[in-house]
């Protein structure tokens, strides 16, 4: 929900500026309406809880596209050694203010410099849907390389066939980004191509969401 674009600097800057503009409204929606708070969404909370229990003892976890750090902080409460990165400096400012117990940094999903076999888990929690279709496989391959054997990645994103150009979001703020939607079976193929074995899949209807959604958990095997 909070990150990414293609590797072209101009595209990256446009998406970053959009998320900087919506950051204040998004944080206010979390506080007033629980938007993005998994505690209000039992199926999503169950997925995160299962992920946390699986990776807690495997090493550090990275929340890629953490936005204002809501899920990052929840994982910290669950005893996970977790940090977050986001494309938007304004999102990171909010994350550091709201969750000083966690570590955050500004970074794009396409420009992460991750040490091989250094992470027990990686989240792409509504943070990869702005990645063009030709870019996502490269990001997933980088996730694989950064995971320890047995480490897991969890992805939540919009499900469907269409690519939607957005011009406003989160209370009518002007934005410029494309939401790339994926069918679950397409994402499964991409994960398997990156040598990440899918362990679990959760499909959610449009009720209570912005639209149909899918959560996938995959593991780097030994």
DSSP letters of 47-88? HHHHHHHHHTTTS-EEEET-TTSHHHHHHHHTT--EEEEES-
Sign of CA dihedral 84, 87, 88, 89: positive
Per-residue pLDDT of the chain (222 residues; tens, 9 = 90+): 343 333 344 588 999 999 999 999 999 988 887 777 888 889 999 999 999 999 999 999 999 999 999 999 999 999 999 999 999 999 999 999 999 999 999 999 999 999 999 999 999 999 999 999 999 999 999 999 999 999 999 999 999 998 989 998 888 899 999 999 999 999 999 999 999 999 999 999 875 556 799 999 999 997
The CA angle 197-62-41, to the nearest 5 degrees, is: 80
For residues 21 and 92, give the distance between their C-alpha atoms in angstroms, rounded to a whole number: 13
The CA angle 90-126-173, to the nearest 5 degrees, is: 45
Assigned architecture for domain 9-219: 3-Layer(aba) Sandwich (3.40)
Q: Are 82 and 102 in contact (CB under 8 A)?
A: yes
Q: What is the pLDDT of residue 132?
A: 92
User: How much is the CA Rg of the chain, to the nearest whole Å?
Assistant: 16
Q: What is the pLDDT of residue 154?
A: 98
pTM: 0.92
Q: What is the pLDDT of residue 115?
A: 97
> Alpha helix (H) ranges present in the chain?
9-33, 42-55, 70-77, 89-98, 136-146, 184-193
Strands 213-219 and 197-204 come out as antiparallel
Q: Are 175 and 165 in contact (CB under 8 A)?
A: no
Q: What is the pLDDT of residue 10?
A: 54
- In the chain, where the domains are located: 9-219
The encoded tokens of residue 149 equal 């054997």
Cβ atoms < 10 Å from Cβ of 190: 20
DSSP 3-state of 149: strand
Q: Are 12 and 108 in contact (CB under 8 A)?
A: yes
Sign of CA dihedral 26, 30, 33, 35: positive
Neighbouring residues of 91: CB distance < 8 A, sequence distance ≥ 6: 2, 19, 20, 23, 26, 66, 67, 68
Q: What is the pLDDT of residue 222?
A: 79
DSSP designation for 38: G
The CA angle 148-102-38, to the nearest 5 degrees, is: 85
């Amino acid at each position: 929900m909070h990150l990414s674009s293609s590797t072209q600097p101009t595209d990256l800057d446009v998406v970053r500026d959009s998320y900087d503009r919506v950051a204040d409204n998004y944080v206010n929606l979390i506080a007033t309406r629980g938007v993005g708070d998994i505690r209000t969404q039992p199926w999503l909370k169950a997925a995160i809880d299962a992920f946390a229990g699986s990776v807690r003892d495997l090493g550090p976890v990275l929340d890629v596209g953490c936005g204002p750090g809501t899920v990052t902080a929840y994982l910290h409460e669950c005893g996970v050694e977790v940090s977050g990165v986001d494309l938007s400096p304004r999102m990171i400012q909010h994350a550091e203010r709201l969750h000083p117990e966690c570590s955050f940094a500004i970074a794009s999903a396409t420009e992460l410099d991750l040490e091989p076999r250094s992470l027990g888990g990686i989240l792409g929690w509504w943070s990869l849907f702005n990645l063009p279709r030709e870019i996502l496989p490269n990001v997933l391959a980088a996730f694989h390389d950064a995971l320890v054997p047995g480490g897991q990645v969890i992805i939540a994103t919009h499900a469907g066939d269409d690519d939607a150009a957005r011009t406003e979001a989160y209370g009518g703020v002007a934005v410029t980004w494309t939401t790339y939607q994926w069918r679950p079976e397409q994402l499964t193929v991409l994960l398997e191509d990156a040598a990440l074995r899918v362990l679990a899949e959760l499909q959610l209807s449009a009720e209570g969401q912005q639209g149909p959604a899918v959560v996938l958990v995959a593991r780097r095997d030994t």
